[in-house]
Amino acid sequence: MRLKDKVCLVTGGAAGIGKATALRFAQEGAKVVICDVNQEAGDAMLKDLGPDSSFYKINVADRAEVQAWIDDVVAKYGRVDVLINNAGVTRDALFVKVKEGQLVKQMEESAFDFVVDVNLKGVFNCAQAVAPVMIKQGGGVIVNASSVVGLYGNMGQTNYVATKAGVIGMTKVWARELGRFNIRVNAVAPGFIATEMVQKMPENVLNDMKAKTPLGRLGDPVDIANTYVWLASDEAAYVHGTTISVDGGIVLGT
């Protein structure tokens, strides 16, 4: 019960890594508050999270929605102990695609903007909304979801990589700025994780992911959730401003 009675927020908490994280936090005794854009999935999660849990339908890219969410959480629970900035999206495409010397396709501006709005601005919005609350109460924990591709790059993911590299940068800045208020800020960089979305990929793509991972398997969402639990707990009391890779030793090539 490492998180007993702590108020823990998980964005994108209705599926994938977010869902696994919310469930693990509940197992550790936390009062879990999840947000997601999927109303049906969010409502279904409440059955497994216990009576002190809450679900809010929130678009993290919408600053007003995020602020209203945090205000309501504080009114209901009185504090925010942990924020897991997990919500994220992908819209993959090659930066430019050329055939016989001619441009035939490129990543659309709308795809770039959408991913940046959710993955980068969304992290900014949520962290900036909870920071004053944590300062006032004397401390807290913020954990941001990055990715191994934010460290190494990846084909067809200019937008996604930009956001995940940006999250690492913001994590370092916030660690410098917020440490004096007893707010610990860290990031986690997952490798290839067997979420519902990933498991629907073609078998040859999944096999390629496994081949690039020395442990020979995809990660389980719980592998990331366990890392979030540790970072949120007092066991990680002196871990600050770092990015932890949870990737099975992955090696990304060209």
Is 185 among the domain residues? Answer: yes
Split into its structural domains, the chain has a count of 1
Give CA angle at 44 (78, 39), nearest 5°. 75
Is 253 among the domain residues? Answer: no
What is the average pLDDT value for the chain, to the nearest integer? 95
What is the token pair recorded at 117? 């709005």
Catalytic residue among 56, 77, 160, 238: 160
pLDDT band at 119 (very low <50, low <70, confident <90, very high): very high
**pLDDT of res. 252:** 74
pLDDT band at 35 (very low <50, low <70, confident <90, very high): very high
Whole-prediction pTM: 0.95
Is 2 among the domain residues? Answer: no
Q: What average pLDDT score do residues 139-149 get?
A: 97
77 is catalytic: no
Sequence-ordered list of residues with C-beta below 8 angstroms from that of 49, at least 6 positions apart, any chain = 22, 23, 26, 32, 34
**pLDDT of res. 205:** 85
pLDDT tens digits, 51-87: 899 999 999 999 999 999 999 999 999 999 999 999 9
pLDDT tens digits, 211-227: 989 999 999 999 999 99
Q: Is the pLDDT of residue 251 over 60?
A: yes
pLDDT band at 185 (very low <50, low <70, confident <90, very high): very high
**pLDDT of res. 253:** 63
Is 251 among the domain residues? Answer: no
Q: Is the pLDDT of residue 50 over 90?
A: no
Pair 253, 212: CB distance under 8 Å: yes
**pLDDT of res. 202:** 86
pLDDT band at 12 (very low <50, low <70, confident <90, very high): very high
Q: What average pLDDT score do residues 154-182 get?
A: 97
Is 252 among the domain residues? Answer: no
Nearest to 244 by CA among 226, 254, 66: 226
Is 37 among the domain residues? Answer: yes
Pair 174, 187: CB distance under 8 Å: no
Q: What average pLDDT score do residues 130-159 get?
A: 96
Is 254 among the domain residues? Answer: no
Which domain does 200 fall in, by range?
7-246
Is 118 among the domain residues? Answer: yes
pLDDT band at 197 (very low <50, low <70, confident <90, very high): confident
Q: Is the pLDDT of residue 244 over 70?
A: yes
Alpha-carbon distance 116 to 89, whole Å? 9
More confident residue, 246 or 201: 246
Find the CATH number of the domain harbouring 115. 3.40.50.720
